[in-house]
Amino acid sequence: MYARTVAFLAAMALAPAVAVAQEAQPSAPAAAAPAAVPTTDPAVLEGKVDSLTEQYTETKLDVAGLKKIKFSGYIQARWAWLELATYGITGSLPPDKDNFYIRRARFKTVADGDWTQFTLQIDAVPSAVGLKEAYATVKLPAGWAIDAGLQLMPFGYEVATRSSSDLDLLERSLVSVYFLDGEYDTGVSARGKLGPVSLRGGIFNGNGIKAAAGRDNDQLKDFIARATVDFGFLTAGASGWYGKTINYSAVVNGGHVTYDRVRAAIDAQLYLDLLPFGGTYLKAEYMWGKTGIGSANGAAGVALGRAASGGYGILGQNVGPWNQVAIRYDTFINHSVDISGATNTKIKQLNEISGAIHTFIGSGGKFSVAYYHPTYGDKGAAAASDPKADRFEAQLQAKF
Partner 1 sequence: MKRTALAALTALILAPAVSQAAVTVKGSDTMVILAQRWAENYMKKNAGKKVQVTGGGSGTGIAALINGTTDVANSSRSIKDDEKAKVRDRFNVLPAETAVARDGLAVYAHESNGVTQLTLAQLKSIYQGDVTNWKAVGGADAPIVLYSRENSSGTYVFFKDNVLGGEDFAASAQTLPGTAAVVNAVSKEKNAIGYGGAAYAKGVKEIKVVGQDGQAYAPSAENVKSGKYPLSRPLFMYTRGKPSGEAKDFMDFCLSGEGQAIVTQVGYFPVK
Which residues sit at the interface with partner 1, rule CB under 8 A?
Answer: 1-3, 6, 56-57, 60-61, 166, 230, 232-233, 271-273, 276-281, 316-318, 320-324, 359-364, 367
HEC states along 194-257? ECCEEEEEEEECCCCCCHHHHCCCCCCCEEEEEEEEECCCEEEEEEEEEEEEEEEEEEECCEEE
Q: Which is nearer to partner 1, 71 or 367 (CB)?
A: 367
Nearest to 150 by CA among 198, 113, 176, 186: 186
Q: How far is the CB of 38 from partner 1 (least distance, A)?
A: 22
Nearest to partner 1 of 90, 363 (CB atom): 363
Query: At its nearest, how many Å lie between partner 1 and the CB of residue 190?
Result: 19
> 205 vs 368, which CB is nearer to partner 1?
368
Query: Least CB distance from residue 237 to partner 1, whole Å?
Result: 14
Is the Cβ of residue 190 or residue 315 nearer to partner 1 in the bound state?
315
DSSP string, 256-279: EEEEEEEEEEEEEEEEEEEETTEE
Which H/E stretch holds residue 193? Answer: strand 184-194
Give the span between the Cα atoms of 186 and 204, in whole angstroms: 6
Shortest Cβ distance from residue 321 to partner 1 (Å)? 4
Q: Name which of 50, 267, 244 is nearest 175 in CA terms.
A: 267
Q: How far is the CB of 235 from partner 1 (least distance, A)?
A: 8
Task: Decide whether 9 or 307 has the Cβ nearer to partner 1.
Answer: 9
Relative to beta strand 323-334, strand 307-319 is antiparallel
User: Whole-number minimum distance, CB 118 to partner 1, in Å?
Assistant: 20
> Given the complex with partner 1, which of 59 and 258 has the nearer CB atom?
59
